[in-house]
Chain A
Amino acid sequence: MRFEGSDNYVATPDLMLAVNAAIRLQRPLLIKGEPGTGKTMLAEEVAAALGMPLMQWHIKSTTKAQQGLYEYDAVSRLRDSQLGDDKVKDIGNYIVKGTLWQAFEAGEQTVVLIDEIDKADIEFPNDLLRELDRMEFYVYETRELVKARQRPIVIITSNNEKELPDAFLRRCFFHYIKFPDRDTMQKIVDVHFPDIKRTLLKEALEVFFGLREVPGLKKKPSTSELIDWLKLLVAEEIPVEALRSPDQKAIIPPLHGALLKNEQDMHLFERLVFMAQRNR
């Protein structure tokens, strides 16, 4: 069982090695990287490439570790008890299974995505240590031990908003998706737009990498923004000439709103272009 990228996802050798190590040794894989470099997509693609179902658990600031295992729905039990419902006698009727429980007892091996783990409370990763290590947990209400039939492949993404505890990190493999260089980017675009015109792509990549080098931008455009922009360029049938100015003057690329998402960045960029035009 090896992951080697897929038809719609370009994986660098180091990423492949990290994924395969995590699969082979059955440890969680922690993925970090700039926003928009395809962290979440990786889990989807790993699941698709290995032909396994994907279970997603999206983390919010209010998410508790317990919710991934199970929740005891006390309120509906309370209501049922006041209505005299017979269901109330079995507490098991009020245990709601979480993502990890579902993955543990699934008939086949699954891929579990714990998305944006850094959004949660600082104690969240610590609360999952045993569950991810031993792949088992105890349900206090029904006094049963839930054990994974097959250890799922766990992929965790983080945007670096909080530091993760050491004890948690020690149990994971770690990979940092760095921003792709020009060659890798070319491959990524080829995967998404197989029949985009060579010339258009070349010009567009030049504009894109040039834009990333503009000093002082608050949010540099990322891979997912490039893909969106190309989509627009193709849909609007923008000619190659629009990206390249005949007299070597700096121009504002068409549809640049897809690349710059911040009003200050937009102003800064327009100002720089204006200055560049005047200086020639």
Chain B
Amino acid sequence: MLIDFFLHLKARKLPVSTKEFLTLLEAVQAGLAGHSMEDFYFLARASLVKDESHFDRFDQAFGEYFKGIEAIPGLEVDLPEEWLKAMMHKHLSPEEKAKLEKLGWETLMEEFKKRLQEQKGRHQGGSKWVGTGGTSPFGNSGYNPEGIRVGGESGGNRTAVKVWDQREYRNLDDTIELGTRNIKVALRRLRRFARLGAPDELDLDGTIAATARNAGYLDLMMRPERHNAVKVLIFFDVGGSMDEHVKVCEELFSACRAEFKHLEYFYFHNCVYDHVWRDSIRRHSERTPTLDVLHKYGPDYKLIFVGDATMSPYEILQPGGSIEYSNPEPGATWLRRLADAYPSLAWLNPEPERSWDYRQTIGIVRQLIGEKMFPLTLDGMTRAITHLSRKN
């Protein structure tokens, strides 16, 4: 029976393995889960999920799979009946309401839950009729069954709600939140150590080997300390459409600063042309020609673009297309030049990945840099870093 559960988790993209599944079965056989659904949930989570960023996905998958077995969450909560009914009226059409009069309360809740799930689908599709409006009782926490719980919590009866339906771990999901610390963890993958500088550390293994070769007379060997040898060049898009992404870019920037010794950064607006700048305030007086950047920093640097690549196609393809001044060469030429000069390259895009196909210029940029564009989420960063740390 549990095999289906295991396959269901797998289908929900949880990285579960057979070994872990067998561990779970062993634990169930040892009677650890007892007879309570909640204990089984905790046990399954402890044995199958090894990363708190997958907890939310697990909660959802668990809820989906065991929906039929457990009662509907919220039903056992003492809700003021009038309140629920009032809510229902907002969400059901007149015909449905008429039908409901004939049905019992149980069916009513079933219907209600179905409606909620339906809304979830539409919400993700882009319509916002549940969510931010504020008239809906489901408010900001949205479509999920938590909404029903609202009344329950004030009733002081929280234990009646199934833990997995509370979805407490939602903000740990790695496809959503990005904090300085998370970024650091991701960036740390890029560290590569090399030994540089003066030899000032005792090389114990070397000393033993040298002493043995020396017929037992002590021969001390020294070696230089290890340093982080990764070199990073970052180009930030500033202004215009990037304004709404300022916070996440700031976080990325401060994490990078702390993590890399060799970090050079430049700003550009929308697309790279023949010059970039380091200081946004003095951007008109102190500009660096892009060619100088190309010549100064060798191909061992890893190039990271941060930008939404959302602009008018003319800004990339036409000479003189820049919205700031008349550029002699089109942005496409410059992007191609940079892509050729730096074999290790990634473009981090703060726009959600699913909207990329609808923006013409994102497609153009992706083509120019050889599809090395990643979303600016933790998951995307991890993919970008894996890509960058590959040897070219």
Binding site for B on A (CB under 8 A): 13-14, 17-18, 20-21, 24-25, 27, 30, 32, 74-75, 78, 81-82, 160-164, 166, 169-176, 178, 218
Contact = CB atoms under 8 A, between A and B. Distances in A.
Contact of B42 (A14, A30, A164): A14
B96 interface: no
B123 to A, nearest CB: 25
Given A27-B23, A170-B17, A176-B52, A17 B42 contact: yes
A172 B204 CA distance: 34
Contacts of B19: 170-171
Given A14-B45, A27-B23, A162 B188 contact: yes
A169 B16 CA distance: 11
B86 interface: no
7 contacts: A13-B39, A13-B42, A20-B32, A21-B27, A75-B207, A166-B17, A173-B23
A17 B32 contact: yes
A164 B50 CA distance: 9
Interface of B: 15, 17, 19-20, 23, 26-27, 30, 32, 38-39, 42-43, 45-47, 49-52, 55, 163, 168-169, 172, 180, 185, 188-189, 204, 207-208, 211, 216-218
A106 to B, nearest CB: 25
B216 A82 contact: yes
Contacts of B15: 166
Counting from the closest, the 9 A-B pairs by CB-CB distance are A169-B50, A176-B52, A18-B46, A14-B42, A17-B42, A174-B50, A173-B46, A170-B19, A74-B208
Nearest to A27: B23
Given A20-B32, A30-B50, A169-B51, 8 more contacts: A14-B163, A17-B43, A17-B46, A25-B23, A27-B23, A32-B52, A166-B50, A174-B51
Given A74-B208, A169-B50, A163 B185 contact: yes
A25 B17 contact: no
B185 A161 contact: yes
A174 B49 contact: yes
A174 B49 CA distance: 7
B220 to A, nearest CB: 10
Q: Is the interface of B mostly helix, strand, loop or mixed?
A: helix
Given A13-B42, A163-B185, A82 B218 contact: yes
Contacts of B163: 14
A164 B84 CA distance: 46
A223 B319 CA distance: 59
Contacts of A17: 32, 39, 42-43, 46
A181 B42 CA distance: 18
Nearest to A179: B168
A43 B129 CA distance: 49
Contacts of A164: 50
Nearest to A24: B30
A21 B20 CA distance: 13
B189 to A, nearest CB: 8
A174 B46 contact: yes
Contacts of B207: 75
A18 to B, nearest CB: 4
Contacts of B52: 32, 176
B39 A161 contact: no
A169 B169 CA distance: 20
Given A75-B204, A170-B20, A174-B49, A21 B43 contact: yes
A218 B168 CA distance: 21
A25 B30 contact: yes
A21 B55 contact: no
Contacts of A74: 204, 208
